[in-house]
Amino acid sequence: MIKIHLRKIKPSDKNYFAKWWRDKGLLKLTSGILKMISDQEVNKYFQAILNNKNDYNFMVIADKEVIGHISLVKKQNDWHETQIVIGEKKYWSKGLGSRAIKILIGRAKKNGISKIYLEVRPTNFRAIKVYERCGFQKVKIIKYSKNKYLSETLRMELKFQFH
Ligand SMILES: CC(C)(COP(=O)(O)OP(=O)(O)OC[C@H]1O[C@@H](n2cnc3c(N)ncnc32)[C@H](O)[C@@H]1OP(=O)(O)O)[C@@H](O)C(=O)NCCC(=O)NCCS
């Protein structure tokens, strides 16, 4: 069985993002913006992730290979937002995304985080299935009528109680 773990993001991970942020198959499932971004933009966005000390940013490692990125970003009222991308497509639908999210949830709990949400394209059925399996519940459709690339998302939430 493939071993999955999360490790903190580091500067040399930039190349993975440069590849994933230009992958149209991935972009269609996420932002929907298919315009190729420049090296300068990659640098800027990656540095912003790397330098951000408030959020959690982990690379998803399968055995020894980097296959994706998962984040947990602090929001208002004790909420955190999570996002996951398994960038290496050959690793899709092998249970690895579900396992990575469960590891992240475990770490969040240890850090006293009790409310996590995410937004997903309502047509991204694979992702929705994974999130439900990890305990997230469908809450509502959010309309972004001004965003021609992503006009609506499904908000899903996970809340847990500490005993
Ligand atoms: C979404 C993502 C994180 C899921 O991780 P994963 O490792 O591929 O998913 P898992 O293998 O853990 O589970 C996928 C489940 O969805 C099912 N599935 C696959 N395609 C599906 C589809 N089109 N419709 C419904 N279910 C589907 C699989 O059968 C599997 O369920 P099963 O284990 O009961 O058979 C990963 O595929 C990914 O990063 N995709 C690209 C980017 C993306 O969509 N990110 C999420 C943005 S919100």
DSSP state of 124: -
Instruction: Give, for ligand 1, the residue of 23, 96, 129 to mutate: max count of ligand atoms closer than 8 Å to Cβ.
Output: 129
Tally of CB atoms within 10 A around 155:
16
Q: Check if 120 has its Cβ closer than 6 Å to any atom of ligand 1.
A: yes
From the number of C-beta atoms within 10 Å of its C-beta (0-12, 13-18, 19+), residue 106 rates as: exposed
CA 92 / ligand 1 centre spacing (Å): 6
160: left (phi over 0), alpha (psi -120 to 50) or beta: beta
CA 77 / ligand 1 centre spacing (Å): 30
Is the pLDDT higher at 53 or at 161?
Answer: 53
Q: Check if 127 has its Cβ closer than 6 Å to any atom of ligand 1.
A: yes
Name all domains of the chain by residue range, CATH numbers in brackets: 4-159 (3.40.630.30)
pTM summary value:
0.96
pLDDT above 70 coverage of the chain, percent: 99
* pLDDT at residue 163 greater than cutoff 70: no
The pLDDT tens digits for 3-42 are: 999 999 999 999 999 999 999 999 999 999 999 999 999 9
